[in-house]
Amino acid sequence: MSRPRLVVLISGNGSNLQALIDAVRDGHLPAEIVLVVSNRKDAYGLIRAQTASIPTHYAPLKPYTDSGRGREAYDADLAAVVHAHQPDVIVCAGWMHVFTPVFLDAFPHRVINLHPALPGMFSGTEAIRRAFEAYQREDINMTGCMVHEVIPEVDAGAVIASMDVPIYEDDTLADLEARMHNAEHGLIVRAVRIVLEQISE
């Protein structure tokens, strides 16, 4: 019996991708990563994938916007690339691109995203910094991260798993970022496992 197939989408360092690679290698995640896609050519995550002998694909948006084709054409072409790898689940792990329904409708309920905030809080970019500033204003006393289903509305899909992350009085932003990333590495593996179990039922 073949293992479930994952496509992972990244835009940067790829530390959460590495957590998935390690979990697959160590037998903690019964799946196979069949493709890593980045919309940034210099993303270190591409090197992580290549080191693990995982196929990669570079998919820049700029040629589409420069030629007037736009996001829907980009999403359609990327969906075709991803579909060719027959993924069971598509994992957005630091992927900095908002999908249109053109992409999402090609993989209904199969696209999930890791976001460094709790449900209903700090959607969009710079979530960790915004949480840190809110803590300093005494608006919140903790933060967290979640994995959710991707829908056209940013960071608003059904939550698959979440984890609280504490903030301490003497924290710097770098301290909170490090603690958040450590939490994310465990959460993303747990969430993918949950989704794969749901698919197999």
Spatial CA neighbour of 189 closest among 3, 8, 58: 8
Q: How far apart are CA 63 and CA 198, in angstroms?
A: 37
Q: How far apart are CA 187 and CA 107, in angstroms?
A: 22
Q: Could you give the residue ranges of the DSSP H alpha helices within the chain?
A: 15-25, 44-51, 62-66, 70-83, 101-104, 127-136, 173-200
Spatial CA neighbour of 112 closest among 153, 159, 66: 159
Q: How far apart are CA 47 and CA 42, in angstroms?
A: 9
Tokens of 100: 């249109």
Catalytic residue selected from 28, 57, 83, 115 = 115
Q: Identify whether 115 is a catalytic site residue.
A: yes
Q: Which amino acid is at 64?
A: Y
Helix (H) or strand (E) holding 163: strand 159-166
Catalytic residue numbers?
115
